[in-house]
Amino acid sequence: MDLRDVKEFCIDTSKYIITIFVVIFIIVYVASVQQVVGSSMSPTFKNQDILILNKMSNTYERFDIVVINYKSSKLIKRIIGLPNETIEYNNNQLYINGKRIEENYEFTNTEDFTYTTKNGEYFVLGDNRSVSFDGRLLGPVDTVVGKTWFFFKKAWFK
């Protein structure tokens, strides 16, 4: 083995090591993959759809789809209430600070409720409100894992 071979080996190995570190950095700090489990976000997402999350975002808007931690699992939900707002459901209608908000999907049998978020808190709901374990039981959340960048439908892979 001559000096050229050693130099080439070191360069090739360095490329692989740098690539591995870049991938690890992206997974830990920038983006992650989350699979939809269950039907709480139906009809928007179906069971086993795949989401790519932006973990660097720290600003969220109403109706963003986010992932939150709950015990040892991750839940996919939609932000309904922003910090310092009163969220109310009355007769299957959403009200934010007393103003009716139009939603693009139809829900029935949603129990009436009212929650008020504090500074730094968000109120989240699943799109399939009749089966979703969400802010109605959890209350407001103050930590978001990431916001959905894009997604892949399970049906696309059949």
Which among 40, 55, 132, 147 is annotated as catalytic? 40
Supply 65's token pair: 């789809």
Is 147 in the active site? no
pLDDT tens digit string along 103-158?
A: 876 666 678 899 999 999 999 999 988 888 999 999 999 999 999 998 888 766 65
Which among 55, 77, 132, 147 is annotated as catalytic? 77
Residue 118's identity, in one-letter code, is: K
Global pTM value: 0.82
Residue 69: pLDDT band (50, 70, 90) is very high
Rounded Cα gap, residues 157 and 39, in angstroms: 19
Q: Give the 3-state DSSP-derived string for the chain, with helices as H, strands as E and coil as C.
A: CCHHHHHHHHHHHHHHHHHHHHHHHHHHHHEEEEECCCCCCCCCCCCCCEEEEECCCCCCCCCCEEEEEECCEEEEEEEEECCCCEEEEECCEEEECCEEECCCCCCCCCCCEEEECCCCCEEEECCCCCCCCCHHHHCCECCCCEEEEEEECHHHHC
Is 118 in the active site? no
Residue 14: pLDDT band (50, 70, 90) is very high
